[in-house]
Structures are given as structure tokens and as C-alpha cells.
Structure 1
Amino acid sequence: MQSQLKLLRQMTVSGTFNTLKSSNLISWKSTGRLQQTIAGCIEKSGKTLHSGEVSKVKIFPGFAGEGRYFKFQSKSVPASIDFAKVSPLCTTLCKDGVRVRTVEHLLSALEAKGVDNCKIEIENQDCDSQEVEVPILDGSACAWLEAIEKVGVKEALDQHGNNGEKVAPYLNEPVHVWRNDSFIAAFPSPKVRITCGVHFPKVESMRNAGLIKGGSLENALVCSISDGWLNPSLRFPDEPCRHKVLDLIGDLSLFAQNGTQGLPVAHIVAFKGGHALHIDFARHLLGTI
């Protein structure tokens, strides 16, 4: 009964009752922690991966229960699975005509560092465009992680000065989703575990489709069949696999609702995963596909 009362308090924020979406596959349980936000403001600018243009991101502290959301001009786009769309080689959020592309690395860093609530303002060079893209930076989440660590995190309060308990989705039974020869399977576990296998296709088709215009040796891992890795030495022997785990965490962070944890507490096994498969998996957990 006590845990149910705690969950009820978590779902009541700023006088509004927010019901956590659920299904028989997951149970929302207390993490024993309070919701967090960043303790200062973060600003990063850089070239975007697909359009090749420069964009600027500013991240501000958020209220408890607000969750993570993007702000472009006067429109808000929640970092929620409800607004995720299938997009070539990235995750895109769409709402009210606005499209925010390549959100996965930034969201992965925020999820990993426990930044449950924040406002993410994004600006593009093209002021008339309704499509914006998060800068790719060095191609990893390292710069985002360092920026979060520099400003720190703090307890998030709602507009009335109240904190909010942080809950997480726990998997109740084994599940799996498939796309051709790719799959994600997950099994109940007392803590988050991720096992990943990768296989990367050639990139010529990506360039022919007008994508990765901003890709370079400074922000991507490039491998030649004849010459091997064209980049400087990899930071880790399994760096390509780690990158896919980074994408997976960022995409599954969209499972978060009202400042909850997004990443399901489970042992997740992914092979040849991609953004579309990750989104399918999250929606399967909610019973929406």
C-alpha cells in the first residue's frame, strides 16, 4: 500500500493527474530516488550529420514531472515515444509540423546521467525551416556527457516547490521483436543489462539518398574493405558495438513519461538493431503495436 501511495504522489504533478501509460509487460516501480534536472545551462553548437548545416542547442533546468522536451521557436516537442517517427539513420520527433532529427545521442547522455527533466532549445541556420537537427559533434555522446558533468545535476522541483519520486519500468516477462534478420529480445532482470551484436552495411546508398552530408572522419567511424579503419585508433576495441548501445539507450529513453526513467529495467539483447527496431520494441512494451 505504501508503494502505491508513493506512485500516486509521483503521478500527481503541479495539480495535474498524469497517468503513466502501461501494459501487462511492464510494471512501474520506485527507484528509491528523486527526479533530477541539470544544475545549470548547457550550450553546444556544431555541424549536423545529415543536412550538414550548423545548429545550436541550449539545455535548461526543468520542473519535476515535465520530463525532457525540445523547444523550437514557440513549439514544444516532448521526448516521448508518442512522437517518434521512422527516419533514415536517426530518430526523429514530430509534433505540430515540427521535426527534430538525430536526438538519440543527446537523449542517451541525459538518460545515463539521470537528467529526468529539462528543456532543450534548438536553433537552425534556416529560420524558415520547420525541421531542425541536433549537432553530431564528435559522433559520440562524449561532449554531452562532459557538459552535464560540468554543470552537475540537482533535485528537480515542480512549480509549487515539491519534489517528485522517480519510478522506472520493470519488465514482467520475456519479449522479442523482429525486423527481417534483426531482433531485440528482453528478459526480466533486477538491473539493466545490455548485450549487443552488430553488422554494418556499406554507406554508398546513404550518400546517394542525400544523407550524411555532414559526415567526416571527425564524427564517424569509417572502415575500408581494403585498408581497414581510416580513423585514428579506436577508443575501444568494440567501439562500433558501443555506438549501437548508445543509440539503443537514446531511443529507449523515449519510453520516459513525466520525469520517469525511460530505459526498461531488463536484460536487453539486440542484434543488428536500428532506430526503427528500437522504436518498435518500445511500442511493443506499451502494447501499441
Structure 2
Amino acid sequence: MSVSSALNAFKSSALISWKSLGKLQQTIAGCIERSGITLHSGRVARVKIWPECAGVGRYFDFRSNFIHPSVDYVQESPLCTTLCKDGYKVRTVEHLLSALEAMGVDNCRIEVEGLNGEESSVEVPIFDGSAKEWVEAIEQVGLKVATDQGGNSCEKMIPFLIEPVHVHRNDSFIAAFPYPKVQIIYGIDFPQVPAIGCQWFSSASLDDSFYTSEIGPSRTFCVYEEVEKLRNLGLIKGGSTDSAIVCSASKGWLNPPLRFPDEPCRHKVLDLIGDLSLFARHGSQGFPVAQIVGYKGGHALHADFVRRLSGIS
């Protein structure tokens, strides 16, 4: 895809200007295969990630049903991002998508298989609750320039925010402002859990080295006093102190040490990157070049923000 044809494929809008910075789309240099316990169902699933042609983008393959990670297919669900198309669901996709977006895997086929006989729903394994397993797998197999079926490379298009935009739900919000590079500022507040409390994290950049060392290893977290309630709702059946950091309101962290003093807040940034990757299309970058400020957000609010960027709401 030439620069001119790429620009024609990505029409600028009132909020986003698509630009080519001379980067070529990439894919993985070989197959990645990982299996593990899933967070919410507690079942075992296997993921195989295959190289894909330039311009195709990233997509899930579940029982030969292809689901692109687009906000068009997001089904609101508690504590994870779920994609649903034609009755088939792939759940807890955010950590994998975060790693793929940040590490520059623009095109790939993600084959997900439940190993316990699920028919219409499957979940991506949780591993240690971070994106570390996926980052290491991508680093091990390496990247290569993606080419189309004719053997041609394609420009990677980058979305630049050109007007301020914000979304909110009650006292939670995501706001974004035009900025010459990606900068993320994120805050959380758990006044009922003093060991977490109010935290803020600011990213210096979103290149793969910063992500690998500062964001990817941050694990998901939960409040111990809420565990029984969540399990009664059919959630976190596969959760354990091996797949999350657990904090008690009265006793503090139950499975220290933390990888970072502000690990819970960093994990929110990890989730944000995965959820905003839903804006990607045809091998482009999903995360917009902007200064993004988030506070007490979650997957549903992140999806609202992508819809706003997409002109859906």
C-alpha cells in the first residue's frame, strides 16, 4: 500500500488526523503458542498467534469464526473486555491486545481454543495477571516487516488527535488533548483500602522498551474483601495469588512484594493500551497520539472513549 493509497484509506475526521511517519507494518516472525488457566471461567485455554499479511490487522479465530478486535464487537462485561460476534465470544482480551499494540505486532491471527469443550465462549489465559508472558513470547519469536499477498510492504498509519475529547461515567473520566507524542496520565483512588489509596502514574512514552520494563509486568489486582462476592457472581473462578496481587482493606497486601510501588495504577495503563488498541484498523496503530488523562476508569469507559474517537457516540 503506497502512502497516497494509505491516506485515502484513512480519512481524517474532526477528531483524528491519520498520518504516515514512514514506518512499515509488522507481524511476528513465527508462531507463538501458550496455554494457561483463564481468570473468570477457571478453565484452560490455548492461544496460537500466527503471522498475517500487511493490511489485514489483528483478529481472533475462534472455531473458525473471525472476530476483529473492534469496538463494534465489544460486549460490556464486568472486569474484562469481551468481544462478541454472531454469538461467539472471546473474553479477557485486554492484556494480549495491550502487548501486541505496544510491541508493534500490527498484523496477526490469534487462534483461541478452549480445552474444556466450550462451544460458543472462550477466554484468553491470565498467566500472572500482567502482559509479561506475551511480551516475552513476542521478544522470543521476533518481528518482521509484513507484506501483502503481492509481496509489498505497507505504511503504518498513525492516528493523531486534533481536538480535545472526553468521556465520563459518574466521577470516572478519560480526557485527551492534542500532543506531539503519546503521553498517558492515569489515576486510581481506593480510599477504603489504605495500602492502595490514591495513586497517579505518568508515562514518558509508549515505545516497546518503556512498555516492556515499566508497564507490561504490572499485574491485575483485587480487594480481598470483594473476592467472595465476585465469585458468587461467577467471576474470577480461576483467580489466585499467582494471577493477581491481592490487597486487604485491613491487612494490606497479602502476596507481596509488588513489582512497582504503584503497580495497581500501572496495570490500569496496561488495560487502557489494550482497550484503545480497538481503534486500530488494517494494520494501523490503534492508540492515538495524544496526551490522555484517565481517572478511575475501567474497560467500559475505555470502550466509550474509543466509540467517541470513532464517531459512534
Bin of the TM-score, shorter chain as denominator length: over 0.9
Q: Deviations over 1:52-87 (max 9, x none)?
A: 000000000010000000001111111122211211
Aligned to 1:272: 296
Hey, what's the Cα distance between the residues in 2 that align with 1:66 and 1:227?
A: 49
The aligned residue for residue 9 of structure 1 is: 5
The one-letter amino acid paired with 1:215 is: G
Query: Aligned residue for 2:222?
Result: none
2:161 partner letter: L
Aligned equivalent of 2:235: 211
Per-residue deviation at 1:226?
Answer: 1.7
Q: Is the 8 A contact 1:23 1:286 kept in 2?
A: no
What stretches of structure 2 of length at least 5 have no aligned partner? Answer: 191-224
How has the CA–CA distance of structure 1 residues 21 and 91 changed in structure 2, closer, same or farther, with 3 Å as cutoff?
Answer: farther
CA RMSD of the aligned region, Å?
A: 1.6
Q: 1:253 & 1:245 partners in 2: Cα distance?
A: 12
Alignment of 1:176-191 (within 5 A): 176-191=166-181
Q: Any idea what SS the aligned residue of 1:214 has? A: coil
| Residue of structure 1 aligned with 2:137, choices 147, 152, 157 | 147
| 79-88 or 195-204: bigger deviation | 195-204
Aligned length: 279
- Aligned residue in 1 for 2:86: 96
Mean Cα displacement is larger for which, 20-29 or 274-283? 20-29
Equivalent residue, structure 2, for 1:46: 36
Q: Which of 113, 121, 126 is residue 136 of structure 1 equivalent to?
A: 126
Tell me, in whole angstroms, the C-alpha distance in 2 between the residues paired with 1:161 and 1:139.
38
- Range moving further from structure 2, 220-229 or 119-128: 119-128
Gaps of 5+ in 1: 13-18
Instruction: Work out whether 1:122 is the aligned partner of 2:130.
Output: no
TM-score computed with the length of structure 2 as normaliser = 0.86
Inter-partner Cα distance in structure 1 for 2:270 and 2:130: 8
**Kept in 2: contact 1:91–1:251 (CA 8 A):** yes
* 1:25-44 superposed matches below 5 A: 25-44=15-34
For each residue in 1:177-207, what CA deviation from the matched residue of structure 2 results, as whole angstroms up to 9, or x when unmatched? Answer: 0001100000101100000001359444322
* Distance change (3 Å), C-alpha of 1:121 and 1:86: same
Provide the rounded CA distance (Å) in 2 between the counterparts of 1:238 and 1:42: 30
CA 86–8 in structure 1, closer or farther in 2 if over 3 Å, else same: farther
For the Cα contact (< 8 Å) 2:59–2:67, is it kept in 1?
yes
**d(CA) in 1 for partners of 2:227, 2:118:** 30
Paired residue secondary structure (2:129): coil
Shift in Å at residue 127 of structure 1? 3.0
Pair 1:86-2:76 in alignment: yes
Matches of 1:95 and 1:264, distance apart in 2: 25
Matched, 1:159 2:149: yes
Distance, in Å, in 2 between the alignment partners of 1:180 and 1:238 is: 24
Shift of 1:153: 0.4
SS of 1:178 mapped into structure 2: strand
Deviation at 1:8, TM superposition (A): 3.4
Q: CA deviation at 1:174?
A: 1.0
Counterpart position of 1:16: none
Q: Which residue of 2 aligns with 1:235?
A: 259
Alignment partner, residue 15 of structure 1: none
Q: CA deviation at 1:236?
A: 0.5
Partner of 2:60: 70
Q: Equivalent residue of 2:81, what SS?
A: strand
* Identity among equivalent pairs (%): 66
8 A Cα contact 1:23 1:285, kept in partner:
no
In structure 2, do the counterparts of structure 1 residues 84 and 31 end up closer, same or farther at CA, with 3 Å as the change threshold?
farther
Asked if structure 2 preserves the Cα contact closer than 8 Å seen for 1:85 and 1:93, the reply is: yes
Deviations 1:71-114 (A, max 9, x none): 01111111122211211110011112110000000000000110
Pairwise CA distance, 1:129: 1.5
Contact 2:7 2:18 in 1 (8 A): no
- Residue type of the alignment partner of 1:274: G
8 Å Cα contact 1:42-1:58 kept in structure 2: yes
Going from structure 1 to structure 2, the CA distance change for 1:243 and 1:189 (only over 3 Å counts) comes to same
